[in-house]
Structure 1
Amino acid sequence: MVSVKTRNRRELSWKDLSKAWSWIFLCVLFLFFSISGNGFLSITNIQNIFADMSFMLLMALGQTFVIILGGLDISVGYTTGMASVIVAQIIIALAPRLPLPLVVVIAFLVGLAVGVLPGLLNGVLITRLSVPPFIVTLGMYGIARGAGFIIENGLPISIPLQDIGRIGNNNLLYIQPTGAITFFQPPQGLTAVQMSNVVGLFTMPLILSLLLVLFCHWLLTRTRFGQHTYAIGGNKEAARRAGIPVARHTVLVYILSSCLAATAGVLYVFRFSSGAAEAGDPLLIDSIAAVAIGGASLFGGEGTIIGTLIGTLIISVIQNGLIILGIDPFWQFIAVGVVIIIAVFVDRMRTRA
């Protein structure tokens, strides 16, 4: 018969493992791919990992709040796409008439406005009609998908302005072989060979994503909004009896999720100089997986923004590392699926502990 002390020791070990496994796994991935993959640890490749993960990270940040709340938002993929095509058309219409900085500000404001409506409808239908979140957001998935394809008329909207692409692909600083540093744009007057030796650091999408990570971390850990999110996810009825406005807070969480997804759509436009209705759909499952891998409970009440950041990094490193190794890209889906199963297994063992 197992003693109480032994049982407690096992429970503590599972709790410790559940908190640290994603960090350990990420370190193992970096070690494996750095040994096996030629050029994996190069500055250029690390930059590519961070730049590519920005869109998934923004979607996953909003998904974190929703999952901690005890819900699920599968409409974010096409909310991203719908926002991208609307913003692309706005930029095409305004860029010839207005200064570029003003166009950028208007584009982000339009993107946020586009994100409010799907989140508002999701939250109201879930709270007022008591429809399960999966069903409501599945319906919004179809609505946003259809709206995006109608707006773009079935073809991605290309923006014929080089300045737009520069905003999304420029770095915060550029380091020349001589040690000279320029900010926000590459050094001028260099030959093609000299430019190939210039190192760019901190892409604009990455900077914005990290700023939003800090904001969401503060919102979830330091504010009443975050406390209410955990309380509702842990026990909705107890939260209601404690005086928390459950319905209003649920609506706000879904609006936040949609706005972050729409922001990803705006970044997509500035990175690729185009808008596409299906821009965020391939990242939908990955955004949910990142939250689960990061330690959030799919039953609500648990999760962290830092965990979501680690989960996003894990998925991005797996995808990039397999490409570096020359492995068929379809194996990425299998690898991510296995990691999701591991995350759910660890979560269930933690719950039992």
Structure 2
Amino acid sequence: MKAVADMAPAAQTLTPPKRFVLALSRFWAWAFLALMIVFFVVTVPIVSNGAVNFLTVRNSQNILVAITPILLLGLGQTFVIIAAGIDLSVGWVMSLASVLSALAIRAVFNAGLPLFPSVVVGFLAAVAGASVVGFVNGVIIAKLKVPAFIVTLGSSFIVRGVALLMSENTTVIGLPPGIRAYGNDALVYFIRGEAGGLYFLATPEVSGELLRRMDRILPYPVVLTAIVVAIAIFVLRKTQFGRHTYAIGGNVEAAIRTGIPVDRHIISLYTLSSATAGIAGFLSTLRFTAGSAVINDPLLLASIAAVIIGGVSLFGGAGSVMGTVIGALIIAVLTTGLVMLNVEAFWQFIVVGVVVIVAVLIDQSRDLIIGRATRGPPT
């Protein structure tokens, strides 16, 4: 927040090239996302000789489903990093939550509880179990003053071991088959072509050619993630909790002097970070009808990359939830488009890595320009 607040008065004293860099630092991610979409819309049909199109309803929904876990992990990271922290445990917390939710759903359903209450119990088990990890991380970081990097790195190993022990180093199966609908059904179904149409809040009973022409629009996990994102945007932009988060990241000593309960707030931030990871683990259980202790492998770094690409400053005090959403979309569009162009998988990692480095360089250049403009010319 401080960086954004300083940008307007500082820009008045800048040369046009530096003003351009500042503008670029604020909107480059949106522009880059738009350019990528245009690029893949043009190139994918050319490479596939018209057999495949990038901009389709089905592909857009697949992208939204793909970013759901990355975005949920990134939401908590957004708050933590704005407050000048880091949480390296969320990937394994997601895995633990998946195992906890699967075990809880299986146990209460087998005990005679109906399907929907069993799913609710699984959700509560996932979020509560994940939140405990975040609370412990926050207490150690805030009260014992241990660096967040060390605490969350250590807890990631502990959580990994607990998840593997609870799952007995295997996938937790035996869940009621009906829960698959919660993780894979959608608000709207669209069947293209003859005898097709739109179906709201009802899964059409189709097969054969109609099934192949049916697209799911707004799957339930995407809807739940959108609700969580909307709440996070409101909390960060419109509440005292959000203002305190920016203040702590901007200058923790100043935050303490102004009476902000810094320790309590840091504990809340890490609890929040783990809670959103718990939601991601729960949705994974619903989607795959099983709990897995090893689902997190590629997701932690992808979530941090989404946060950085979205413009959240690694030094704290600046960033937004919408930036993280754009960062997650950039990663999903990049990887999806490259797959459709038949690009080797390792090139996807290289491209995403380059984008992350460019994002950090843009962030650094913005801070450097703002800092110089704020200090004024040398005397």
**TM-score normalized by structure 1?**
0.95
Aligned-pair CA distance for 1:5: 8.1
Equivalent position SS for 2:343: coil
Q: Which amino acid in structure 2 is aligned with residue 184 of structure 1? A: L
Q: Residue 6 of structure 1: CA displacement?
A: 8.2
1:285 is aligned, of 280, 291, 301, to 301
* Aligned-partner SS, 2:146: coil
**Structure 2 counterpart of 1:34:** 41
Please name the residue that 1:326 is paired with. Answer: 342
Q: Is the 8 A contact 2:102 2:175 kept in 1?
A: no
Q: Whole-Å Cα distance in 1 between the matches of residues 18 and 117 of structure 2?
A: 56
Q: 1:199 is paired with a residue of what secondary structure?
A: strand
Does 2:39 align with 1:24? no
- The equivalent position to 2:177 in structure 1, one of 162, 165, 170, is 162
Partner of 2:288: 272
Per-residue deviation at 1:144?
0.7
Following superposition, the deviation at residue 175 of structure 1 comes to 2.5
Identify if the C-alpha distance between structure 1 residues 246 and 115 changes in structure 2 by more than 3 Å, giving closer, same or farther: same
Pairing 1:295–2:311 present: yes
The residue number in structure 1 matching 2:151 is 136
Q: 1:83 maps to what in 2?
A: 97
Instruction: Give the superposition deviation at 1:343.
Output: 0.4
1:187 paired with 2:204, answer yes
- Separation in structure 2 between the aligned mates of residue 20 and residue 5 of structure 1, nearest angstrom: 19
Q: Secondary structure at the match of 1:302?
A: coil
Give the partner amino acid of 1:243.
G
Query: Any idea what the Cα deviations from partners look like across 1:258-309, whole Å, max 9, x if unmatched?
Result: 0000110000000111111121231001111101100110000000000000
Query: Which of 250, 261, 269 is equivalent to 2:266?
Result: 250
User: 1:92: how far off?
Assistant: 1.4
Match of 1:55 in 2: 69
CA drift at 1:338? 0.4
Q: Distance in 1 between matches of 2:33 and 2:98?
A: 31
Gapped regions of structure 1 (runs ≥ 5): none
Find the residue that maps to 1:308 and give its secondary structure.
helix
Q: How far apart are residue 102 of structure 1 and its match?
A: 0.7
CA RMSD of aligned residues (A): 1.5
Which structure 2 residues correspond to residues 99-138 of structure 1 after superposition, within 5 A? 99-138=114-153
Q: Secondary structure at the match of 1:157?
A: coil
Q: Is contact 1:170-1:184 (8 Å) kept?
A: no
Tell me whether 1:45 sits opposite 2:59 in the alignment. yes
Distance in 2 between the 1:72 and 1:84 partners? 22
How far is the alpha carbon of 1:335 from its aligned partner? 1.1
Compared with structure 1, are the counterparts of its residues 266 and 10 closer, same or farther at alpha carbon in structure 2 (3 Å cutoff)? same
In structure 1, distance between residues paired with 2:129 and 2:79? 19
Task: Indicate conservation of the 8 Å contact 1:70/1:298, yes or no.
Answer: yes
Q: Secondary structure at the match of 2:199?
A: strand
How far does the alpha carbon of each residue in 1:21-72 deviate from its partner, in whole angstroms, 9 at most, with x for none? Answer: 0001101111111111232212111111100110000000000000000000
**Distance in structure 1 (CA, Å) of the matches to 2:152 and 2:320:** 23
**Residues 134-168 of structure 1: CA deviation (Å, up to 9, x unaligned):** 00000111011111111111112124432111210
Contact 2:105 2:118 in 1 (8 A): yes
Tell me the residue number matched to 1:305: 321
Gaps of 5+ in 2: 1-10, 45-51, 370-379
Counterpart Cα distance in 1 of 2:344 and 2:191: 36
Q: How many residues align?
A: 349
Deviations 1:216-254 (A, max 9, x none): 000000000000000000000000000000000000000
* 1:342 counterpart residue number: 358
Query: Which segment drifts farther, 217-226 or 317-326?
Result: 317-326
Structure 1 residue 11: Cα displacement: 2.8
Q: 1:68–1:229: 8 Å Cα contact kept in structure 2?
A: yes
Corresponding residue to 1:15 among 16, 22, 28 = 22
- Cα 1:160–1:125 change in 2 (3 A) is closer
- Identify the residue that residue 70 of structure 1 maps to in structure 2: 84
Secondary structure of the residue aligned to 1:95 is helix
Q: Percent identity?
A: 43
Question: Aligned letter for 1:183?
Answer: F
Q: Work out whether residues 196 and 210 of structure 2, in 8 Å CA contact, stay in contact via their aligned partners in 1.
A: no
Find the residue that maps to 1:253 and give its secondary structure.
helix
User: Which whole-Å CA distance do the structure 2 matches of 1:220 and 1:8 have between them?
Assistant: 32
Question: Which of 312, 315, 320 is residue 331 of structure 2 equivalent to?
Answer: 315
Letter in 2 for 1:320: T
Pairwise CA distance, 1:183: 2.8
Q: Aligned partners of 2:61, 2:274: CA distance in 1, in Å?
A: 27
